[in-house]
Structure 1
Amino acid sequence: MAIKNYQGKQAAPEKPESSPMLVKDYMTTDLITFRENENIMDVAEKLLKHKISGGCVVDEKNNLLGMISEGDCMKHVSDSQYYNMPLEDTTVGKRMNCNVETIDGNMNVIDAAKKFIEKRYRRFPIVENGKLVGQISQSDVLRVATKQKSNNWHL
């Protein structure tokens, strides 16, 4: 004899209401920035002092010009030794990466995480109307993930 279940079909659990997790809500806005004419070794010292691996290069109107990183500074140190040139003889403008990819502050953090994986970058600047307004790093995305670890990430 078969046992019948009279409980009926159970409803799926309700998903908690959540607002999208946008990059602009988690980006860093208090940035260490650099200028084109700054000495590369001064930049290296600032990177070490602030325990960051790179930063945005801006002009006096806060327009994004490029990015400078520890790797750019190390390349300068290596080239200086190889070519027997003074370490203090180069500016950020000669070493920075001018081909900078930015992301939209209205992008979902999950989509930003995918972009980090695809591009293998450590940080993306956020620009509005040509002006640098913030930066999101892999660390920022991981902070969001650790805060959300008990919840599902909702898009």
Structure 2
Amino acid sequence: MGIINFQGKRTNQPEKKHEPILVSDHMSKNLITFKEDQSIEDVIDTLIKNKISGGPVVNEKNELIGIISEGDCMKQISESRYYNLPIDKNNTVGKAMIKQVETIDGNMNIFDAANKFLNSKRRRFPIVENGKLVGLISQKDVLKAAMQLKGNTWK
């Protein structure tokens, strides 16, 4: 007696299309931004109150001109404490911020963004469209996006 196949007739099922998971779908849009003329003390207060580690610096046209981080603020504190002085009121964001800011495209796949984070050692990337700041993606945003997949393919 031969082997009987009980699976029945097989039909070709259409392949499911997987849409890419884009940075713009997971970026933060309600941003805390800083101005070039703000004091470092003001930035430190904002970082602590909002439990964030840094943020973009924009001009009056909402154009990205820099980024300020906890590390930049720590440098200012360290320098003033070294000379046993209070934080200089003239130390502004414009003097402490990083001006050469790497940005990321909002249409980039979230996993390509993860790779960019790993290669650059950055904690956040601003997203700019038409010269204007439109969002910010952090390492945590990428992790949240990955956790939402739950069983989807990783393409």
TM superposition score normalised by structure 1: 0.88
In structure 1, give the amino acid aligned to 2:80. S
Q: CA deviation digits over 1:55-91, x for unaligned, max 9?
A: 0000010010100001111111111011233314210
| Alpha carbons of structure 1 residues 85 and 149: separation in structure 2 relative to 1, 3 Å | same
In structure 2, give the amino acid aligned to 1:25. D
* Matched residue, 2:124: 123
Distance 1:147 1:153 in 2: 11
Name structure 1 gaps, 5 residues minimum. Answer: none
Distance 2:121 2:98 in 1: 15
* Matched residue, 2:147: 146
Q: CA deviation at 1:50?
A: 0.6
Q: CA deviation at 1:19?
A: 1.1
In structure 2, give the amino acid aligned to 1:32. I
- Whether the 8 Å CA contact 1:113–1:141 is kept in 2: the answer is yes
* Matched residue, 1:133: 134
Distance 1:28 1:144 in 2: 12
Distance 1:82 1:113 in 2: 38
- Whether the 8 Å CA contact 2:29–2:136 is kept in 1: the answer is yes
- Secondary structure of 1:55's partner? strand
1:95 aligns with 2:96: yes
- Whether the 8 Å CA contact 2:57–2:68 is kept in 1: the answer is yes
* Matched residue, 1:79: 79
* Matched residue, 1:108: 109
TM superposition score normalised by structure 2: 0.88
| Alpha carbons of structure 1 residues 40 and 17: separation in structure 2 relative to 1, 3 Å | same
* Matched residue, 1:34: 34
Distance 2:93 2:120 in 1: 23
Name structure 2 gaps, 5 residues minimum. Answer: none
In structure 1, give the amino acid aligned to 2:67. M
- Whether the 8 Å CA contact 1:67–1:100 is kept in 2: the answer is yes
| Alpha carbons of structure 1 residues 22 and 73: separation in structure 2 relative to 1, 3 Å | same
In structure 1, give the amino acid aligned to 2:75. K
Q: CA deviation at 1:5?
A: 6.8
Q: CA deviation digits over 1:67-116, x for unaligned, max 9?
A: 00011111111110112333142100110000100011111101000000
Determine what percentage of the aligned residue pairs are the same residue: 56
Instruction: Give the superposed CA RMSD.
Output: 2.2
Distance 1:120 1:96 in 2: 17
- Whether the 8 Å CA contact 2:80–2:88 is kept in 1: the answer is no
In structure 2, give the amino acid aligned to 1:101. E
| Alpha carbons of structure 1 residues 67 and 148: separation in structure 2 relative to 1, 3 Å | same
| Alpha carbons of structure 1 residues 32 and 11: separation in structure 2 relative to 1, 3 Å | same
* Matched residue, 1:24: 24
